[in-house]
Amino acid sequence: MKPLSYVRAGTAREAIDAFVAAGDGARYIAGGTNLYDLMKLGIERPAHLIDIADLEGADRIDTDGDRLFFGGAALMANVAEDPVVSRDYLVLAESLSKAASQQLRNMATVGGNLLQRTRCPYFRNGVNGTYPCNKREPGSGCAALGGLDRSQAVLGASEACNAVSPGDWPVALMAMDATIELQGRDGTRVIPISELYRPPSQTPHLEFTIGREEIVTGIAVPKTAAGRNSVYLKVRDRESYAFALVSAAVALEMDGDRVGQAHVALGGVATVPWRARAAEAFLRGRTLDREGALAAATAAFADARAGRHNAFKIELGARTLADALITAGSKSQ
């Protein structure tokens, strides 16, 4: 690990000023569960760390208004156990409580979770030329394409990268039409979460659309009755404390016994948190039965492409989504 300086900022403004003053090697650190991990692996090499985990008010959780609001530095554990979130927005609560471990959820922030980097084994293990990786060393190639690709994406891959977007929480937020509040040098702005992630295309090292010095100050989710008919279903190699092989975030706005608007997103299978619009369109106006759920789920994977070892994700993904739809639907009765 390179020598580095460390400062703890008190406000977002202070942090941004410190970031700008520190120049090229500056990075924000929140819980550090991803950044510090990658520093130990030699993948991230910051020279100046600006700690934003303790910014004034940044851990705020507010469920009183017409939206849910989570400060960027709110802890995963605290959001998962918030009484309103865990009662009325199970898809959000479960995406957090099924992620990592309680120790890590006590450290990791919901803002940092959005910006965590891939768990692709070639990305994580290949430093110093062991494996090429276009994310780690732009232009070096991709060892996962045609390599041991069991964990890799079947949706959204490019010729340069098929690494999976690892977070669970962004998948749930994608389904729930969350917006991300950002503060930068020139003020604040709000973007839909769908605009936070860049597909890999030819530049997989550019993963997020936000500026280097921008801080995620908050995440907002519009309140909706669909939260009550929601679920985050996550299938892993082991029952707990593992990243998703496939996951499905589902929330259903019902119209009597028919689906009005379905909110559907997929994790573990795609290069970015994946909104499954085709499945949503298929479900509109239908009653939910096993057959329809599976047909909708199959539509979600119509464009999926498998490599050598990850074809199982297509069927597992469709079946997982179908189960999630049935589960969410059964809650509305």
Partner 1 sequence: MPNSQGKHRLETTRRRVLKAGTIISLSGAMLPTTGLAQQAGPQPSPENGVTVPVSFRVNGRPAALDIDARASLLDLLRERLGLVGAKKGCDHGQCGACTVHMNGRRIASCLTMAAKAHGRDVTTIEGIAGADGLHPMQQAFIDHDALQCGYCTPGQIMAAIACVKEGHATTPEQIKEYMSGNICRCGAYVGIVAAIEQAAPQIERS
Ligand X SMILES: Cc1cc2nc3c(=O)[nH]c(=O)nc-3n(C[C@H](O)[C@H](O)[C@H](O)COP(=O)(O)OP(=O)(O)OC[C@H]3O[C@@H](n4cnc5c(N)ncnc54)[C@H](O)[C@@H]3O)c2cc1C
Residue numbers at the binding site for partner 1 (CB under 8 A) = 1-10, 14-15, 18, 21-23, 26, 29, 31-33, 36-37, 39-42, 47-49, 51, 53, 77, 100-104, 106-107, 239-241
Among residues 26, 52, 283, 318, the one that binds ligand X under rule CB under 6 A: 52
Q: Are 306 and 317 in contact (CB under 8 A)?
A: no
Fill in the per-residue mask, 64 to 93: x = in contact with ligand X (CB under 6 A), - = not in contact.
--------x---x-----------------
Which token pair is 152? 């890799």
Q: DSSP label at 280?
A: H
**Is residue 9 a contact residue for ligand X (CB under 6 A)?**
no
Give min distance, CB of 239 to ligand X, in A.
12
Q: Which residues contact 238 (CB under 8 A, 6 or more apart)?
A: none
Residue 51 partner contact from partner 1, ligand X, none using kind-dependent CB cut-offs of 5 to 8 Å: partner 1
**Is residue 215 a contact residue for ligand X (CB under 6 A)?**
yes
- State the residue for tokens 């199959």: 298
What are the strands of the beta sheet with 274-275, ordered from one edge?
A: 230-235, 246-255, 258-267, 274-275
**Is residue 56 a contact residue for ligand X (CB under 6 A)?**
no
- Distance between CA 214 and CA 187 in Å, rounded? 9
Q: Are 264 and 249 in contact (CB under 8 A)?
A: yes
Of the candidate spans 31-39, 121-129, 289-297, 299-307, the one that interacts with ligand X by CB under 6 A turns out to be: 31-39
Among residues 74, 80, 85, 115, the one that binds ligand X under rule CB under 6 A: 115
Question: How do 246-255 and 215-222 pair as beta strands?
Answer: unpaired
Give min distance, CB of 210 to partner 1, in A.
22
Among residues 33, 134, 151, 320, the one that binds ligand X under rule CB under 6 A: 33
Q: Are 4 and 46 in contact (CB under 8 A)?
A: yes
**Is residue 297 a contact residue for ligand X (CB under 6 A)?**
no
Which token pair is 16? 């941004």
Residue 111 partner contact from partner 1, ligand X, none using kind-dependent CB cut-offs of 5 to 8 Å: ligand X
- Distance between CA 170 and CA 13 in Å, rounded? 26
Among residues 29, 142, 269, 297, the one that binds ligand X under rule CB under 6 A: 29
Q: Where are the beta strands (DSSP E) in 236-286?
A: 246-255, 258-267, 274-275
Of the candidate spans 29-37, 150-158, 281-289, 295-303, the one that interacts with ligand X by CB under 6 A turns out to be: 29-37
Q: How many residues bind ligand X (CB under 6 A)?
A: 31
**Is residue 145 a contact residue for ligand X (CB under 6 A)?**
no
Give min distance, CB of 280 to ligand X, in A.
23
Q: DSSP label at 211?
A: -
Q: Are 318 and 298 in contact (CB under 8 A)?
A: yes
Among 214, 223, 212, which residue's Cα sits nearest to residue 190? 214
Give min distance, CB of 298 to ligand X, in A.
26
Element (H, E) at 87: helix 83-88
- Distance between CA 199 and CA 207 in Å, rounded? 7
Give min distance, CB of 176 to partner 1, in A.
24
| Contact positions vs ligand X (CB under 6 A) | 27-35, 37, 52, 72, 76, 99-100, 104, 107-109, 111-113, 115-116, 166-169, 215-216, 243
